[in-house]
Amino acid sequence: MDIKAEKIDSEGKNKNIIYKRKTKMEKNIEIKKDNIFKKGVDKIKNIKLNRKVFAYPYILFMLLFIVIPLVMIIAYAFISDKTSSFTFENFAILAKDNVSLRVLWQSLLIGILTTLSCFVIGYPVAYVTSKMKSGGIIIIFFLLPMWVNFLLRTLALKELFNALNLSLGFGSLLVGMIYNHLPFMILPIHTSLISIDKSYSEAAKDLGASGFLAFIKVILPLTLPGIISGIIMVFIPTISSFAISEMLGGGEILLFGDSIHLKTLHNQSGVASVMSLIMLILVLISNVFISKVNKTSNSASLL
């Protein structure tokens, strides 16, 4: 009995020792976790939330969806579709393709007509609404159709032409382009107009200028940045669009965007990339032109 009692006591002591060790180990682990957590919190506290930190998601987005696709377009422009080797053959093919060149000039013509039409319609609308107290609400009504997908808007316009028994062609395509891109002309011009100080035109009238002369000499130059922004926001998308021309062109008119799309479908990605580079060059030229116009307008306003 004494031997059994001693064994039970020794087993109990061993269990107590093991339990104490476990508790010490658990406490040490908890202390380590607390220290790691505190260090992490301290590191987070030490991070300075400056503008650079908030820019990281946008930089990542630009790398994934802007920079990398552009690099791929440039790379494909210099890669042969047949041999997958470096070549300038795609540029030569496009230069000899009379159909694509004719499509380019046709697209430029439609882009110019659309831009001029949007400017002629959009500037008076923006000017009148900028003088009205409820002008902002009217501008919202112009922007409301933009909440609907442009394919649905174009299909609705196509059904309207069919209901009126109007043939689809150059005229219907031009109307569709104006309908889809007019808000892009009105909004920047309206923004420029409402930012102009009213005292400028009042001072011009006090100096003897008529209303028309004050508009030509004062208001119009100050809205030039908005005009240029509207022109680019209308002209470039008009040239590169393909869905609108497919639905409203009646199968007779092919735009530059349509040609790029068809080249891609026919496994001519190299030539399509060269055509996309042409669009990119037009965009870069437009941006350089905008920056110069903004600089000149700002220096003129300071004078």
Mean pLDDT score across all residues of the chain: 81
83: in domain:
no
Q: What would the pLDDT profile of 137-190 be if each residue is shown by its tens digit?
A: 888 888 888 888 888 888 999 999 989 888 888 889 999 999 999 999 999 999
Q: What would the pLDDT profile of 104-147 be if each residue is shown by its tens digit?
A: 888 889 999 999 999 999 999 999 998 888 888 888 888 888 88
Least confident range of 33-37, 115-119, 208-212: 33-37
Shared domain for 64 and 98, answered yes or no, is: no
Please report the pLDDT score of residue 301 as a whole number. Answer: 53
280: in domain:
yes
Opening angle at CA 203, ends 199 and 205, nearest 5: 120
Please report the pLDDT score of residue 113 as a whole number. Answer: 95
Please report the pLDDT score of residue 16 as a whole number. Answer: 57
Final residue of a structural domain among 23, 49, 77 = 77
Least confident range of 25-34, 92-101, 150-159, 274-283: 25-34
Is 45 a residue whose pLDDT tops 90? Answer: no
Q: What would the pLDDT profile of 240-288 be if each residue is shown by its tens digit?
A: 887 788 888 877 788 888 888 888 888 888 899 999 898 888 888 877 8
Q: What would the pLDDT profile of 54-75 be if each residue is shown by its tens digit?
A: 778 888 999 998 899 989 999 9
Please report the pLDDT score of residue 68 as a whole number. Answer: 92
87: in domain:
no
Please report the pLDDT score of residue 114 as a whole number. Answer: 95
**Residue-number span of the structural domain to which 52 is assigned:** 2-77
Shared domain for 157 and 46, answered yes or no, is: no
Between CA 270 and CA 80 the distance in angstroms is 6
Is 204 a residue whose pLDDT tops 90? Answer: no
Is 49 a residue whose pLDDT tops 70? Answer: no
Q: What are phi and psi of 210, to 5 degrees?
A: -75, 170
Between CA 29 and CA 35 the distance in angstroms is 10
Each as own residue / partner, the long-range contacts of residues 96-105 (CB below 8 Å, 24 or more positions apart, any chain) are 97/271, 99/259, 100/259, 100/271, 100/275, 103/254, 103/255, 103/256, 103/258, 103/259, 104/256, 104/259, 104/278
Q: What is the CATH number of the domain that holds 174?
A: 1.10.3720.10
Please report the pLDDT score of residue 4 as a whole number. Answer: 46
Final residue of a structural domain among 48, 77, 106 = 77
Shared domain for 141 and 14, answered yes or no, is: no
Shared domain for 60 and 141, answered yes or no, is: no
Shared domain for 72 and 97, answered yes or no, is: no
Across the range 6-21, mean pLDDT stands at: 54
Across the range 4-13, mean pLDDT stands at: 51
Cβ atoms 70, 62 nearer than 8 A? no
201: in domain:
yes
CA distances from 191 to 21, 128, 139, 214, 215 (A): 74, 13, 10, 19, 16
Is 22 a residue whose pLDDT tops 70? Answer: no
82: in domain:
no
174: in domain:
yes
Sign of the CA dihedral 11, 13, 17, 22?
Answer: positive
Nearest to 283 by CA among 237, 248, 243: 237
Please report the pLDDT score of residue 187 as a whole number. Answer: 92
Shared domain for 40 and 122, answered yes or no, is: no
The number of domains in the chain is: 2
Please report the pLDDT score of residue 210 as a whole number. Answer: 82
Higher pLDDT, 300 or 244: 244
Final residue of a structural domain among 77, 100, 135 = 77
129: in domain:
yes
Shared domain for 244 and 283, answered yes or no, is: yes
> Quick one: what percent of the chain has pLDDT higher than 90?
18
Is 25 a residue whose pLDDT tops 80? Answer: no
